[in-house]
Amino acid sequence: MNALVRRGVARAGIPCLWRGKCFSSGNEPAESNPVTPMLRHLMYKIKSTGPITVAEYMKEVLTNPAKGYYVHHDMLGEKGDFITSPEISQIFGELLGIWFVSEWMTSGKNPAFQLVELGPGRGTLTGDILRVFSQLGSVLKTCDISIHLVEVSQKLSEIQAQALTEEKLPMERDAESLVYMKGVTKSGIPVSWYRDLKDVPKGIALH
């Protein structure tokens, strides 16, 4: 396995399994290193059900409700592990916002459309897009817009809600509801949170 890959997953706290061995950030197997809760979970899972696919492995280490990397951490920015384009410059999101409006007009100005984002981070990208929508309010005044965010991390969804609505939103108590949190953005647009893309209502959507 590439040493850079091993260092990367170790930096992120993700267990790195290769040919039945756990590797550290160096070049040698880390048999003497402490077994993390996630590594223990994966070992039990493999022992009980057999080999797992790469997709299963990534789902566990990233979105496991108890120890998943994306579930309880704010990993973005200078103090995190990586940064994304919207966090560097607002131009990225604003250009997308202009493109969305252009596509909406080209497609016949549908009376309603959904803006759907998967993994919204801190809500920065959606916030920049909404800024454009507000500036072009006269163009969009006949359109019913709604925001739909697909996010598995409760920590990040709280950060998103604060950024987009300036409120700490309550979690939905209805077990039958596919929406686990909802509110209204600072510009008056309804926003809802989901744990899976398939839960987002069908409609004219811009992803």
- For 8-51, write each residue's pLDDT tens digit: 444 445 555 544 455 444 445 545 567 788 888 888 889 998 89
Confidence category of residue 2, pLDDT binned at 50, 70, 90: very low
Q: What residue segments make up the domains of the chain, in order of their start? A: 3-63, 87-206
How many angstroms separate the CA atoms of 103 and 164, rounded? 23
Helix (H) or strand (E) holding 168, with range, is: none
What distance in Å separates the CA atoms of residue 25 and residue 12, rounded to the nearest whole number? 11
* pTM exceeding the 0.75 threshold for the entire prediction: no
pLDDT for residue 83: 83
- Tokens of residue 118, six digits: 């998967």
> Does position 123 have pLDDT exceeding 90, yes or no?
yes
* Per-residue confidence band for 207, with pLDDT thresholds at 50, 70 and 90: low
Rounded to whole angstroms, the Cα distance separating 155 from 127 reads 18
Q: Per the CATH hierarchy, to which homologous superfamily does domain 87-206 belong?
A: Vaccinia Virus protein VP39 (3.40.50.150)
Q: How far apart are CA 74 and CA 39, in angstroms?
A: 21
Instruction: Tell me which residue has tokens 């990586």.
Output: 82
